[in-house]
Structures are given as C-alpha cells and as structure tokens.
C-alpha cells in the first residue's frame, strides 16, 4: 500500500469497532485475547506499522492526565514478618518508592504475605500465592529480595514477573547445595550496577587523593554481587602502578583486619559492613585523619559515611516500570529472553574521607 492503513480499514478487515482496534494495537486489557489477535493479524495483513513518534506523543498526552486505576500489582513478601518492608528505614525506601511509582502509573501495590510459609516447599508456596492472585485478578508480580531464592527460580504461571535484587538471594540458595546453573532465575530483574558502583567509588577516592585503596569484601558479599564488585576492583587496579595494588581483604569476619591493615598499609578502605568503621577505630586509627573509610551501600545505619548511594528508590521504581510494561504488552510467564536492568549508584562525600593533605 502507498500509505499506511487507517484504524477504520483495520476495523473493517477484523470486523470490530475502531475503539477495539485502538485497544488491541496497544495490547490493552479492555478487549479479549481473541480480539487482540484478530486485530493484530488484520493489521499485519494490511501492512500496518506503528508510528513511534505518534506513540510517544500519545503517551505524553496520557501521562499529563491523571492516571485512573488500572490494576493491582503484587509485592510478594515471603519473610516471616508481615511488616518486613515497613519496619526499617532501609526496607521502607524500596516499598515507598514502589508504591509511589505504581500510583503514578495507575496501579495499586499489594503487600502479599502469608503466615507460616515453609521455605523448603517453594512450589507449594507459589501455588498458594497464585490462588490468591487469581482470586484477586492480579497479573503483575514483583519478587523483592526474597527470603527463599527458589521462589525466584520457579515459574509464576500467567503472571508478568520481575525480580528486584536477584544477587542478594544467591547465598540462601547456595546453602541448599544446588549446582550453579540452577541458582539463576529466568525472570526479568532490576539490580544495582555493582561493577559501575565499585569503579565509581575507586575513581572518587582517587580524586580525593587516596593512593592505596583496600577492598574489604567477604566471600558472601562477593557471591551475592555475582563477583561484579571484586571484578570491578581488579579491573580498575590494572591501570594503577604495581605499588598501589592491594589484594582484597576477603575473610568472612573482620577479626583479622588489623593484621591485614598493618601488612598492606592502605590509606582508605571500602566495604559494605557497618562494623568496618569500628573495626578500624578499635585498631587505634583515627577516621579520616589516619585512614579513610567508605561504604558500598549507604543506608540510614551508616549515615554520614562517604560511599555509594545505590539509589534504592530508583531500583524499586524501575521494577514497577518493567512489570507495567510487560502487562501492557501482554507478556506473561517465563520470558524467552530475560532482561536485566542495572541502576547506577552515585558517590556521596561524607565525614569518613577527606582530601589528602587536609587537617
């Protein structure tokens, strides 16, 4: 055809109304799956192709209008406490940001919790959750930093499912003795960009004048970040002179940290444990006068530290965005190709580091 078909021509070919064509071409839920398929087939036969600029304009117009309620999304809570996501400032950042973003898109977020879940029977648990989801007509599911990572590796049938923080679940999964290839979920997921974050931290510390930067990372944290944190550290060190390269402190606890500090003489250390500061101070070193300390995941329990703000609110909002997009495109079940969205953190100058040479 010399010009693209109109909605009226597609409606005539499919035997439906123009309004039904509009909903079907946007994968809207106001028409049946059979109608969507018939309309989309007719559109293909007539050579219809969506105009991305027009779609962007229409999306902008819809965004300017107040969003009407569309549906409910489920926030799966498999922790022993119902209020796990609201009882601490760190957890609440995720929950509040997800609720806020869901409301902006016209969704309500339901904290779905069940008492006395047996974490050793994940398939049974999912069946219980699915019965509740179907009864409430919920098709969008968020799996946020689960207690059992097995809930993330199994299928949530008929649901658009997105995982928040997959890396943080590997430790619990590994304890079950399962081989590495079974530890991965096949769902879409949103995570902090650990490789970027450690690189940003090292470059920020370099900019402050620190020369000998030590990484304090336990085997557990190395695993839950999928080796990306340590990998970024080694990658960045390749550009440094040999005299500045320090091996990471990689013990499960901080008991041997004083000996490591004495042996390698770092002028700043970076890690994720909130006990890191006290461990350094108990060794008789002043922070930041004698040595700097930085944290890889700034949170209320390390207020005032220098380090990486992982932007938990943006991670949660991106998770909601991804679920909503999958629902709009009617993409449910285990995807053939799982997407991973990485959110970059930002560096924060705090009181635990200083420009070298300052008093």
Kindly give the confidence (pLDDT) of every residue in the chain, 359 residues in length, as a single tens digit, with 9 standing for 90 and above: 467 788 888 889 999 888 888 888 877 767 888 888 898 899 888 888 776 555 555 555 555 555 566 789 999 999 889 999 999 888 999 999 999 999 999 999 999 999 888 888 889 999 999 999 999 999 999 999 887 777 888 889 999 999 998 544 444 444 444 444 444 668 999 999 999 999 999 999 999 999 999 999 998 888 888 889 999 999 999 989 999 999 999 999 999 999 999 999 999 999 999 999 999 999 999 999 999 999 999 988 899 999 999 999 999 999 999 999 999 888 888 888 889 999 999 999 999 999 986 43
From the candidate CATH numbers 3.10.310.10, 3.40.50.1970, 3.40.50.970, 3.40.50.2300, the one assigned to the domain spanning 194-310 = 3.40.50.2300
Q: Top-level CATH class of 71-192+314-343?
A: alpha beta
- For residue range 91-143, what is the model confidence (pLDDT) as tens digits? 999 999 999 999 999 999 999 999 888 888 889 999 999 999 999 999 999 99
Beta bridge partners of residue 292, listed in sequence order: 268
CB of 138 closer than 8 Å to CB of 73: yes
Residue 102 exposed, middle or buried by CB count within 10 Å (0-12, 13-18, 19+): buried
Q: How far apart are CA 244 and CA 221, in angstroms?
A: 24
CB of 141 closer than 8 Å to CB of 111: no
Peptide bond into 45 cis (omega under 30): no
CB of 89 closer than 8 Å to CB of 125: no
From the candidate CATH numbers 1.10.260.40, 3.30.470.20, 3.10.50.40, 3.30.70.890, the one assigned to the domain spanning 7-64 = 1.10.260.40
Report helix angle 228-237 to 194-207, nearest 10.
Answer: 40
- Answering whether pTM is above 0.85, one says no
Predicted pLDDT of residue 283? 92
Q: How far apart are CA 17 and CA 7, in angstroms?
A: 9
Predicted pLDDT of residue 180? 46
Whether 71-192+314-343 and 194-310 share one fold: the answer is: yes
Give percent of the chain above pLDDT 90. 57
* DSSP string covering 298-310: --GGGTT-EEEE-
| Pairing mode, strands 292-295 and 306-309 | parallel
CB of 331 closer than 8 Å to CB of 319: no
CB of 30 closer than 8 Å to CB of 23: yes
Domain extents for the chain? 7-64, 71-192+314-343, 194-310
Q: How far apart are CA 161 and CA 187, in angstroms?
A: 6
Q: How far apart are CA 128 and CA 292, in angstroms?
A: 50
Q: How far apart are CA 283 and CA 113, in angstroms?
A: 44
Helix, strand and coil content of the chain, in percent to the nearest 5, comes to 45, 15, 40
């Amino acid at each position: 055809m010399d010009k693209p078909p109109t909605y009226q021509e597609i409606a005539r070919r499919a035997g439906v109304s123009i309004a039904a064509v509009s909903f079907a071409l946007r994968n809207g839920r106001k028409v049946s799956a059979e109608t969507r398929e018939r309309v989309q087939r007719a559109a293909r036969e007539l050579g219809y192709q969506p105009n991305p600029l027009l779609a962007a304009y229409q999306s902008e117009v819809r965004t300017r209008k107040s969003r009407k309620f569309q549906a409910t999304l489920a926030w799966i809570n498999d922790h022993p406490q119902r209020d796990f996501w609201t009882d601490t400032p760190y957890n609440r950042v995720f929950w509040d940001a997800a609720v806020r973003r869901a409301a902006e898109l016209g969704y309500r977020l339901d904290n779905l919790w069940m008492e006395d879940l047996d974490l050793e029977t994940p398939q049974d648990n999912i069946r219980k959750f699915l019965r509740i989801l179907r009864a409430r007509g919920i098709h969008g599911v968020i799996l946020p930093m689960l207690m059992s990572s097995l809930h993330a590796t199994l299928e949530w049938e008929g649901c658009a499912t997105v995982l928040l923080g997959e890396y943080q679940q590997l430790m619990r999964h590994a304890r079950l003795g399962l081989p590495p290839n079974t530890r991965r979920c096949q769902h879409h997921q949103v995570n902090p960009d650990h490789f970027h974050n450690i690189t940003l931290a090292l470059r920020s510390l370099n900019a402050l004048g620190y020369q000998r930067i030590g990484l304090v990372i336990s085997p557990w944290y190395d695993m839950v970040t999928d080796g990306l944190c340590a990998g970024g550290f080694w990658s960045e060190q390749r550009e440094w002179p040999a005299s500045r390269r320090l091996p990471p402190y990689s013990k499960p606890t901080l008991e041997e940290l004083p000996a490591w500090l004495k042996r390698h003489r770092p002028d700043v250390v970076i890690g994720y444990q909130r006990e890191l500061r006290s461990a350094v101070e108990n060794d008789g070193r002043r922070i930041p006068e004698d040595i700097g300390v930085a944290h890889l995941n700034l949170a209320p329990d390390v207020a005032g530290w220098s380090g990486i703000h992982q932007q938990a609110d943006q991670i949660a909002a991106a998770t909601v965005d991804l679920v909503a997009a999958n629902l709009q495109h009617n993409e449910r079940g285990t995807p053939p190709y799982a997407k991973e969205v990485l959110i970059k953190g930002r560096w924060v100058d705090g009181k635990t580091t200083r420009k070298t040479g300052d008093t």
